[in-house]
Chain A
Amino acid sequence: MNRGAAGRVLDAGLKLLDRQLIDSQGMLAGKVDDLELTPSQDDPQRLYVTAILAGPGALAGRLGGRLGHLLERTANRLRDSPQDRPARVPFGVVKQLNSAVDLWVAKEELETDRLEQWARQTIIAKLPGAGDAPQ
């Protein structure tokens, strides 16, 4: 039953999890690996989706066990953030939910891009011939 539902109703696992994030330029910006649920200040029983969690740190929570724990620790070490938490995309930058999740912002503005930037600068750029790659 959908009692008390005045707006659009959707099942998170079916319609949101594992969907592709598309940034404002049409570039791939990660996937929806988890959702952050935050209690309302007025009524703690009411939970709202406040952010998309993406990247290996978020996926680790769904894997669970030792593998998940190891993946989360590794992802947190690589991310450029003092906080031990997965990359977070505030739900306020979501434009619309389709077969993919369209965003209002460019991927460079997202935390999800930091691991890719780190890999590009720290590993890829130092490989012999990396500067010769066509743009």
Chain B
Amino acid sequence: MRLSELLGCVVVDERGRLVGRVHDVRLVQDGPPIGQFGASLRLLGLLVGRHAIGARFGYDRGAMQGPWLLRWAVGLGRNGRYVDWGLVRVVDLEHRRIQIAGSVEDLGPPEPAR
């Protein structure tokens, strides 16, 4: 699988309700050693939202606040959500659709990566 195949996929919850589109993929460096890099990067979760332009500016991440004018211009409330990869049940790359377990209402906003 390629990262680009996940980006842009529509994410729906177990009842088929829209969560948003995948704007980014969160990785954690805790996997088995790979060559001289050290611990490999593991897919940790998906950053999902409904406003692609706002996500590009980083407004779907918790720490991003202003400037308020730009935030208003890209049409954002805080609607970015974080989907733990463990919640993913079906990845349908042909139809670019990802189904997750649980409800969209249980998903919180993404924390800033550290």
- A-side residues, CB < 8 A to B, are 1-15, 17, 34-40, 45-50, 53, 58, 61-62, 90-95, 104
Contact = CB atoms under 8 A, between A and B. Distances in A.
B81 to A, nearest CB: 10
Contact of A7 (B4, B7, B29, B34): B29
Nearest to A95: B36
B84 A36 contact: no
B113 A9 contact: yes
Given A4-B44, A61-B5, A49 B27 contact: yes
A11 B25 CA distance: 6
Contact of A2 (B23, B34, B44, B86): B44
B26 interface: yes
Given A48-B43, A90-B35, A61 B27 contact: no
Given A1-B108, A93-B36, A34 B3 contact: yes
A47 B26 contact: no
A11 B48 CA distance: 12
B59 to A, nearest CB: 12
Interface string B98-114: 00000000001011011
B27 A62 contact: no
A12 B47 CA distance: 10
Interface in B3-59: 3-7, 23-32, 34-37, 39-45, 47, 58
Contact of B28 (A7, A58, A94): A7
Contacts of A50: 34, 40
Contacts of B40: 48-50, 91
B2 interface: yes
Contacts of B29: 7-10
B69 interface: no
Contacts of A95: 36-37
A49 B42 CA distance: 6
B28 A47 contact: no
Contacts of B24: 11-14
Contacts of B25: 11-13
A58 B7 CA distance: 14
Contacts of A14: 24, 58, 113
Nearest to A3: B84
